[in-house]
């Protein structure tokens, strides 16, 4: 990753234009060609410096339901439970964290009913209660990372 | 609550065609239009509208934290008086090291925390310094907090709608 890659990452975490030739527009800001910008984004994706390029959709505004949930899982049962939780298509992310509430996952469903069903299924199959923590209010979601 | 702006079948097809990424070609919206079977102008008009309504949060690159050297990613959780959480949430969300910030329900007695802020640092001391900064900002409203570091990613997929 060179200085130009860093500049692209820092400048382009939002604001990519919606226009006939958006790459050409952005490339002009960096004094490079459209082809070079496309090649650099492609290679940053390939090298996993970027995890995505494109529009970030707001799941709840698409009518879906998104919730953070946690479970207290004893160490000796952790792998079994992780397998059950990860196998569910409704689980988008799942993290182990250093806390008594040791497993934290994001449930993304298209309806609130599907959300409730998924939670019940996890509780039934794992045998542990789920602490559901749907957001009450969002103050900020964005990335401001500096490359 | 925000009113739910309706999305129709064409919006849905545009979302399906772009949720894993925009095509890396000179005219990406034209490529999406060919896939969906509408004009490029219509794709662009609909995506502009989705940006305005907030259905699209933003368009651009999503960096991988770890690849950029942000190895310490802490979920900081706080017990803040409910009547102050909105005002303080806006101020904490404006800090440049906070990427996500939410009011969530407590689960008493086990879980007293009602305010979550994700912070990102190159190492744990940097995250701890960020937490002190949040604590200073909260002042007396900080009735207790913890940092939960992720120790392992068990699963990570994009948020998707079905086909």
Q: Which pLDDT belongs to residue B35?
A: 97
Rounded to an integer, the average pLDDT of B22-28 is 98
Q: Which pLDDT belongs to residue A141?
A: 78
Nearest-CA distance B59 → chain A (Å):
4
Rounded to an integer, the average pLDDT of B27-51 is 97
Say yes or no to pLDDT of A54 above 80.
Answer: yes
Nearest-CA distance B108 → chain A (Å):
10
Say yes or no to pLDDT of B163 above 50.
Answer: no
**Closest alpha carbon within chain A to B5:** A61
pLDDT in tens, B55-106: 899 999 988 888 888 888 899 999 999 999 999 999 999 998 998 999 999 9
Substitution target in B63, B100, B124 with the highest count of A β-carbons within 10 Å is B63
Q: Which pLDDT belongs to residue A92?
A: 86
* Domains, chain B, with CATH or none: 9-53 (1.10.10), 66-149 (3.30.70.3460)
**Closest alpha carbon within chain A to B118:** A141
- Say if residues B44 and B101 touch (Cβ distance below 8 Å): no
- Say if residues B77 and B116 touch (Cβ distance below 8 Å): yes
* Domains, chain A, with CATH or none: 3-46 (no CATH), 59-133 (3.30.70.3460)
3-state SS, B44-106, equals HHHHHHHHHHCCEEEEEEEECCHHHCCCEEEEEEECCCHHHHHHHHHHHHCCCCEEEEEECCC
- Contact list in B for residue A68 (CB cut-off 8 A) is 102, 104, 116
Question: How far, in Å, are A58, B32, B88, B145 from residue B113 at the CA level?
Answer: 25, 43, 14, 7
**Closest alpha carbon within chain A to B9:** A62
A43 or B67, which is more confident: A43
- Contact list in B for residue A50 (CB cut-off 8 A) is 61-64
Among A3-17, A60-74, B122-136, the range scoring the smallest mean pLDDT is: A60-74
Percent of chain B beyond pLDDT 70? 93
Cα B113 versus chain centre, distance: 19
């Amino acid at each position: 990753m060179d200085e130009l890659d860093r500049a692209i990452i820092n400048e382009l975490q939002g604001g990519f234009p919606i226009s006939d030739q958006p790459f050409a527009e952005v490339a002009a800001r960096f004094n490079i060609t459209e082809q070079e910008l496309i090649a650099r984004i492609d290679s940053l994706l390939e090298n996993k410096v970027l995890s995505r390029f494109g529009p970030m959709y707001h799941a709840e505004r698409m009518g879906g339901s998104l919730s953070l949930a946690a479970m207290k899982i004893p160490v000796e049962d952790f792998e079994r439970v992780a397998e059950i939780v990860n196998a569910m298509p409704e689980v988008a992310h799942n993290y182990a964290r250093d806390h008594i509430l040791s497993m934290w996952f994001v449930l993304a469903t298209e309806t609130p009913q599907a959300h409730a069903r998924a939670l019940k299924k996890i509780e039934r199959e794992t045998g542990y209660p789920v602490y559901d923590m749907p957001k009450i209010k969002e103050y900020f979601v964005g990335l401001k990372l500096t490359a | 609550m925000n009113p739910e702006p309706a999305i129709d079948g064409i919006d849905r097809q545009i979302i399906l065609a772009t949720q894993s990424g925009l095509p890396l070609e000179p005219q990406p919206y034209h490529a999406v239009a060919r896939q969906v079977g509408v004009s490029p102008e219509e794709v662009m008009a609909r995506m502009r509208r989705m940006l305005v309504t907030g259905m699209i949060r933003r368009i651009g690159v999503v960096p991988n934290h770890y690849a950029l050297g942000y190895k310490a990613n802490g979920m900081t959780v706080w017990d803040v008086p409910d009547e102050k959480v909105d005002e303080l949430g806006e101020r904490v969300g404006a800090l440049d090291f906070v990427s996500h910030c939410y009011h969530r329900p407590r689960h008493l007695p086990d879980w007293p925390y009602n305010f979550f802020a994700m912070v990102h640092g190159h190492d744990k001391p940097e995250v701890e310094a960020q937490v002190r900064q949040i604590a200073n900002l909260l002042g007396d409203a900080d009735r207790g907090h913890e940092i939960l570091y992720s120790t392992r990613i068990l699963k990570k997929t994009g948020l998707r709608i079905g086909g």
